[in-house]
Structure 1
């Protein structure tokens, strides 16, 4: 919803200007208070009485959006005046940077803004306040007509909870027979490779069926290699090949440099002789298959390829072996709806059953529609009155808009969203089809775009996590992958729902997705543009195309795989989010002109240096570099040098953690540090415990420090939840300092010199909340003496490169929460001990534990398989995976 997004964005901008001493001194406080009151009033109207199709309100909301954008434009123009007009440059400013800056200033002056004029700001605000006052009167009139009735479709604002819903595998309600049939075909005895197409319309469950089969333990055990890749309409063969390889090995820079033919040859070699299962999801053309197929060998060992497609023509290309997906009958449709609306038990209140079945019947057996509407009604008011009103709206849509039935049904899920979720949902359309979306990036973008309304109990990011959880609960966003702490790492959106986002966003003039050559004319203020180019992916605030000569209004700049010039930054002083490649070795002092910048992500292979002025960028929330030196903050004085909003601070080289610096970043939550030559006296790591909100810390020592030098400085804040140490040169007994951290959930120990010593004896009462333990290439470790009491809530144990470890402690298997033991390149005896733990647990009825063993080559895998048979006899388990580590030159 454009009006809500515009008002919240304006509210955030007003707050930022008032908190910036360079900008606030020109503001008239009475005007600010008047504008703030009207913004609050209109926000309340949008949140409680927003329309669902009424043309009168649609016109009014359009006026609100236009007025809010006009107000923000006035304020941002004021920022340009203050920061650019009459600017003074430091002597050390390079000639090329100075040239860019001066050109930008001259451009502003050519437009007539030669001086800073408080009267221009005052006059501009007076005009927008008058507009909003006029709109406010209209709103009051409408409220009186309606008797202040609150629309039944309004849902309560999100609660303070920010816990994500787990990535639970979708139960195949209604398709149990399809699941069994496909399982039987994939595990059949026919030696030749089969291609099995699953065909059906969008939203009918093709991908869900394939995913349930792909993740089934029996299937995982049956095949040597399992790979999944989404092809989509706009496919790239090279990208598909890279993803297929990435299912087997970690991507490398060497792979990035290979062309399509070289990647195809590498894939062919990796699959040759192996029994593989490959799922090619969302295939749209035979041409795509022909280009990929030549790199998939037929090993005559029962390898299988599953293709999901909406097109019968594509399915028929593979012969008569297609698996047709059909619609659900009424009973199965009702079962699926109840599960989504009322949880696993699926118990529908008796008074809602009749109207509920009427609603489900209109979905005509399409699983996606049933799932989305079930999720919507499950989050709504569970009264018969509300459900009857919903049913009438649904029938009205179906009776008046035949043709695009699936999209029309799903449009109800948008109409019935609360106002604060609508812009967040529509924004999902900016991502390409089938794109795996980083949750961290998505939240940063939502915040930068101004969608998140501030509250007194949560940060903007925490509120955004709550918004995302709500969209997941409503089945509008799908969880793709969870991180080590159980939080959502990546997500995605169904193609049909993305089409809905684009359709509604275009109608509401909120979002436009186009190519770089096809930018339409007449883009309205506030309409965001997603521009696609061969090497450039840029998120734009479209107001820059119609105001100020196409400059200074860009809010989000996301340029990947392109080393563009500095001009694109300096000409856009109101940027809030920047992610780009950068070849210069030093960021210029003028970076501080970006007064409203919240997120700065710079990619590049070189070591960068950032200027002291970066400490004066008050709105910074996330600073992420591949590697950068930061000069210490300037001496405290007239300039404020505290970064109160900074939460993410990556990847800082040789940072001196003085008390003064820690006071500068009091609210940092995520910190990544790298030291080339560690010195306790110089870098003051003991001051880490001054960062009372720090949750995630990564320390990488390029050269292992002397033992004792670091131990004496191991002081961590009690808030720490995640810790990664590389080459720290600690001893196992030193881990008591870490184990005593009361909230630690993730511990990763990495590198040849991370932990020194051949025996680890944990102390009972430590690691009480540890969920993830990863030990990587600590070659010295031979004996590990522990039981369930030492890691009482451990969920994941990952061991890599422990070639001397004799065994995993047997009692580790008795930890009730343990779900995974993974060994990669470890000793054979350690791998045998993991199988022994699994056998014991399954004999006791524990089916929740999985064991994965990767050995260096196929010969070792064969020998180990024989040893397992020799020691455990006929023991087989779908929860045990044995594979070779595929390494390619």
Structure 2
């Protein structure tokens, strides 16, 4: 429960007091030691929470302590940031600032004392006896729960998947022992596919010994359990020696008997519902490889990509995909509950077809749950409305299994996972937006000198490897993930967990009375406005919001803006109502507005923490006038990403901006752009995306998406118009390449067509000397 609150508090302390070159408060040696001591205590508390959150049989004392730690962290961060805000806003009054400075130090000291007390409690709690989870059951439960003697689920469609997996099992290209991993999110049909392959006549006839072991159930996974279950299933085959004896308790003895049972035989072992693919290697040592075509099939939601497993030539990954709309409807009609004829379904089912397909999003488990519910009622329409609401609210996946998966996440991933709840259900999420928000919130931990963006992308990849996030599409230029999304079944769980943590509230302004919105807004850290069908809200405590997202039309809310870090997709009507409050945004790190307004330049220029500024604006019309933004924007020292709509322009900075990673629609005049590029002021070494508006003799040329070969530079490039502006951009590009900021690409300097300034038609690729001579004549 406390992981998000602790992560947020530690990120604030790291940014405001520990991070070099960003301190806004003068700290003497004594204060620095105190800050570091507080940070170490918080790290210890975070380690305790991480250890206990994934433990089985947590006692009441541990749960109460976690709540106490959560409340402490939320309260401490509020108090520290309020005092820090008072200090920063009192800059013009030395006496008031000195008083605020003393209160800030006092608050930090109290936080350190409280953290020390909680740390001592955590040590005492560790000494208490851990309550045993009675639901775990005996080591070897009833065999019938694990055998495949029961009728298998009907698999509709998936013919390609079935054929791929079956051919891999029967393929005689390699006789070595192979591991085949069937990977996908919960409820996507991994077990059903594995069962269909297992019972296939060709597969059954090909292998001498087959065994199915499932790690389902409350007991979960452990190596000893898997060994003994496997031996038990083999004992049911034809080994009289094992039948006469008993299943040994010793793991080594069990491993020897498994090896003896399988030695010299072609076998197929299915390990269903493993926590990850690495668990397979816990028993692989006891499975003989007689180079006779034996196979191991595992089903899992988590494929770990590291070490030797990535290079294992004797392994194969089969990634499951969601059903398309036609396959979804076929499964709905042909399931064992409804047994409808697909093309002769009653009219009422045809009426709700599109709704069923949309709400289930191609997840087989969701489709079967809906079909089973509708098969038991007379009033289909009434029941469907009820089912639809329940699915949107609660989801259909096993909550205990999802909770276990969530608890097993590392601490740094838990908070990032819950953050997906701020986005509307079934929405595509831009990866660059997601990563910038994670960084702005302080969720990304620097690791071995890696850039924060690289680390954030690694976090996202971990979610994908765990089947918690789906890839929507890829970037054609960089080859990286462009958009991702969370399946609605997981989104429901995510929202509920975030609300349970006391940090999130998703408001549908269409459902709530205007007067009640501010009450909800004051109860959470992350406030998101979007359309949903939730009819409940969790109000655990009074809270100061840190992040507000406007995915819905403007809402009349009145909350304290003092501690805001993120303001995203803010409509201009909202900002016009609260212009005075924007002066208090001393912690703002991410700002995305739909339209520039007077006074915003002050907020941007005076904010030392602002990392991202996005001004989207309205769709610009051809020939429409552009709006000149003030150059004071560049005064924000942490600014890394500046994206402007085409209707806005800004002059280049007059100071070095090495922090910049994204520049979009920056006005460059011929008279100044060459000087700025040569002086090294316009671009920094970290630049990764560059979109410019080049203004030359009233002509504009778009520069984007050209130097695709450079992994650091996703977008710099091509010319859309012919004329002298082409040569001007070419000169800039060449100077950038000489400074090592972009790669030298001769193809960029091919100029088809007549050039007005007398350079002639160039139809062949020029060499570098020719380029230099030609560009040196550019006026």
Alignment TM-score, normalising by the size of structure 1:
0.48
* 2:581 corresponds to 1:581: no
* Structure 1 residues 495 and 709: alpha-carbon distance in aligned structure 2, compared to 1, 3 A threshold: closer
Per the TM alignment, residue 610 of structure 1 is displaced from its structure 2 partner at its CA by 4.1
Q: Who is 1:331 aligned against?
A: 195
* Structure 1 residues 580 and 713: alpha-carbon distance in aligned structure 2, compared to 1, 3 A threshold: closer
Q: Who is 1:813 aligned against?
A: none
* 2:511 corresponds to 1:497: no
**Which secondary structure does the structure 2 equivalent of 1:117 belong to?**
helix
* 2:746 corresponds to 1:736: yes
Per the TM alignment, residue 415 of structure 1 is displaced from its structure 2 partner at its CA by 2.6
Q: Who is 1:11 aligned against?
A: 11
> 1:86·1:115 contact (CA, 8 Å) conserved in 2?
no
Could you give the per-residue CA deviations for residues 743-780 of structure 1, whole angstroms, max 9, x where no partner exists?
Answer: xxxxxx999999x9988556999xxxxxxxxxxxxxxx
* Structure 1 residues 524 and 719: alpha-carbon distance in aligned structure 2, compared to 1, 3 A threshold: farther
> 2:444·2:456 contact (CA, 8 Å) conserved in 1?
yes
Instruction: Select 2:606's aligned residue among 572, 575, 593.
Output: 593
Instruction: Select 1:654's aligned residue among 668, 673, 676.
Output: 668
Per the TM alignment, residue 458 of structure 1 is displaced from its structure 2 partner at its CA by 1.4
* 2:46 corresponds to 1:32: no
Q: Whole-Å Cα distance in 1 between the matches of residues 567 and 432 of structure 2? A: 16
Per the TM alignment, residue 699 of structure 1 is displaced from its structure 2 partner at its CA by 6.3
Instruction: Select 1:626's aligned residue among 645, 654, 678.
Output: 645
**Which secondary structure does the structure 1 equivalent of 2:24 belong to?**
helix
Q: Whole-Å Cα distance in 2 between the matches of residues 586 and 757 of structure 1? A: 50
Q: Whole-Å Cα distance in 2 between the matches of residues 751 and 475 of structure 1? A: 51
| 1:84-163 equivalences in 2 (<5 Å) | 84-87=89-92, 117-143=100-126
Q: Whole-Å Cα distance in 2 between the matches of residues 751 and 500 of structure 1? A: 59
> 1:694·1:720 contact (CA, 8 Å) conserved in 2?
no
Q: Who is 2:337 aligned against?
A: none
Moved more, 484-493 or 666-675: 666-675
| 1:421-436 equivalences in 2 (<5 Å) | 421-436=413-428
**Which secondary structure does the structure 2 equivalent of 1:461 belong to?**
helix
Q: Who is 1:218 aligned against?
A: none
Q: Whole-Å Cα distance in 1 between the matches of residues 156 and 755 of structure 2? A: 52
Instruction: Select 1:64's aligned residue among 69, 72, 87.
Output: 69
* Structure 1 residues 549 and 764: alpha-carbon distance in aligned structure 2, compared to 1, 3 A threshold: closer
* Structure 1 residues 604 and 709: alpha-carbon distance in aligned structure 2, compared to 1, 3 A threshold: closer
* Structure 1 residues 712 and 450: alpha-carbon distance in aligned structure 2, compared to 1, 3 A threshold: closer
* Structure 1 residues 410 and 144: alpha-carbon distance in aligned structure 2, compared to 1, 3 A threshold: closer
> 1:695·1:722 contact (CA, 8 Å) conserved in 2?
no
Could you give the per-residue CA deviations for residues 618-657 of structure 1, whole angstroms, max 9, x where no partner exists?
Answer: 33232211144444546xxxxxx65554322222111733
Instruction: Select 1:378's aligned residue among 251, 255, 277.
Output: 277
Q: Whole-Å Cα distance in 2 between the matches of residues 469 and 546 of structure 1? A: 26
| 1:509-658 equivalences in 2 (<5 Å) | 509-516=502-509, 517=512, 519=517, 521=519, 527-532=525-530, 543-544=543-544, 550-560=560-570, 562-563=572-573, 564-565=575-576, 566-567=579-580, 569-584=582-597, 587-605=600-618, 607-627=626-646, 628-631=648-651, 633=653, 643=657, 645-654=659-668, 656=673, 657-658=676-677
Q: Whole-Å Cα distance in 1 between the matches of residues 722 and 499 of structure 2? A: 54
Instruction: Select 1:43's aligned residue among 28, 41, 46.
Output: 46
Moved more, 707-716 or 517-526: 517-526
Could you give the per-residue CA deviations for residues 593-619 of structure 1, whole angstroms, max 9, x where no partner exists?
Answer: 333222211122574444444333233
Q: Whole-Å Cα distance in 2 between the matches of residues 750 and 56 of structure 1? A: 76
Q: Whole-Å Cα distance in 2 between the matches of residues 407 and 334 of structure 1? A: 28
Could you give the per-residue CA deviations for residues 704-761 of structure 1, whole angstroms, max 9, x where no partner exists?
Answer: 32675554443244999999xxxxxxxxxx9626499xxxxxxxx999999x998855
* 2:501 corresponds to 1:508: yes
| 1:779-798 equivalences in 2 (<5 Å) | none
Q: Whole-Å Cα distance in 2 between the matches of residues 597 and 451 of structure 1? A: 16
* Structure 1 residues 204 and 474: alpha-carbon distance in aligned structure 2, compared to 1, 3 A threshold: closer
Q: Who is 2:401 aligned against?
A: 409
Q: Whole-Å Cα distance in 2 between the matches of residues 459 and 674 of structure 1? A: 28
Question: Which consecutive unaligned segments of at least 5 residues does structure 2 have?
Answer: 131-153, 162-184, 201-208, 222-271, 285-297, 302-393, 533-540, 548-557, 619-624, 699-706, 769-779
| 1:471-482 equivalences in 2 (<5 Å) | 471-482=463-474
Could you give the per-residue CA deviations for residues 646-694 of structure 1, whole angstroms, max 9, x where no partner exists?
Answer: 3222221117334555388442222221111179xxxxxxxx9xx9965
> 2:754·2:760 contact (CA, 8 Å) conserved in 1?
no
Per the TM alignment, residue 506 of structure 1 is displaced from its structure 2 partner at its CA by 2.0
Q: Whole-Å Cα distance in 2 between the matches of residues 176 and 479 of structure 1? A: 22
> 1:50·1:57 contact (CA, 8 Å) conserved in 2?
no
* Structure 1 residues 509 and 361: alpha-carbon distance in aligned structure 2, compared to 1, 3 A threshold: closer
Q: Who is 2:82 aligned against?
A: 77
> 2:474·2:482 contact (CA, 8 Å) conserved in 1?
yes
> 2:13·2:39 contact (CA, 8 Å) conserved in 1?
no
Q: Whole-Å Cα distance in 2 between the matches of residues 360 and 141 of structure 1? A: 28
Q: Whole-Å Cα distance in 2 between the matches of residues 753 and 23 of structure 1? A: 54
Per the TM alignment, residue 204 of structure 1 is displaced from its structure 2 partner at its CA by 6.1
Tell me the matched-pair count: 505
Instruction: Select 1:668's aligned residue among 687, 690, 693.
Output: 687
Could you give the per-residue CA deviations for residues 509-537 of structure 1, whole angstroms, max 9, x where no partner exists?
Answer: 23222224354858787642222379xxx
Could you give the per-residue CA deviations for residues 798-817 of structure 1, whole angstroms, max 9, x where no partner exists?
Answer: xxxxxxxxxxxxxxxxxxxx
**Which secondary structure does the structure 1 equivalent of 2:567 belong to?**
strand
* 2:429 corresponds to 1:437: yes
Q: Whole-Å Cα distance in 2 between the matches of residues 587 and 699 of structure 1? A: 33
How large is the RMSD of aligned CA atoms in angstroms?
A: 5.3
Per the TM alignment, residue 545 of structure 1 is displaced from its structure 2 partner at its CA by 5.4
> 1:434·1:494 contact (CA, 8 Å) conserved in 2?
yes
**Which secondary structure does the structure 1 equivalent of 2:724 belong to?**
coil
Per the TM alignment, residue 79 of structure 1 is displaced from its structure 2 partner at its CA by 3.9
Per the TM alignment, residue 496 of structure 1 is displaced from its structure 2 partner at its CA by 0.8
Per the TM alignment, residue 553 of structure 1 is displaced from its structure 2 partner at its CA by 1.6
Per the TM alignment, residue 143 of structure 1 is displaced from its structure 2 partner at its CA by 4.3
**Which secondary structure does the structure 2 equivalent of 1:62 belong to?**
helix
* Structure 1 residues 707 and 645: alpha-carbon distance in aligned structure 2, compared to 1, 3 A threshold: closer
Q: Whole-Å Cα distance in 1 between the matches of residues 105 and 160 of structure 2? A: 67
Could you give the per-residue CA deviations for residues 325-381 of structure 1, whole angstroms, max 9, x where no partner exists?
Answer: x99377138799xxxxxxxxxxxxx9995244779999xxxxxxxxxx958423668
Per the TM alignment, residue 4 of structure 1 is displaced from its structure 2 partner at its CA by 4.3
* Structure 1 residues 122 and 357: alpha-carbon distance in aligned structure 2, compared to 1, 3 A threshold: closer
Question: Which consecutive unaligned segments of at least 5 residues does structure 1 have?
Answer: 89-108, 148-172, 181-201, 209-325, 337-349, 363-372, 391-401, 535-540, 635-640, 680-687, 724-733, 741-748, 766-889
**Which secondary structure does the structure 2 equivalent of 1:662 belong to?**
coil
Q: Whole-Å Cα distance in 2 between the matches of residues 56 and 352 of structure 1? A: 42
Q: Whole-Å Cα distance in 1 between the matches of residues 760 and 218 of structure 2? A: 65
Per the TM alignment, residue 508 of structure 1 is displaced from its structure 2 partner at its CA by 2.3
> 2:418·2:495 contact (CA, 8 Å) conserved in 1?
yes
Q: Whole-Å Cα distance in 1 between the matches of residues 582 and 752 of structure 2? A: 38
> 1:589·1:612 contact (CA, 8 Å) conserved in 2?
no
**Rg: which structure is higher?**
2
Q: Whole-Å Cα distance in 2 between the matches of residues 751 and 544 of structure 1? A: 61
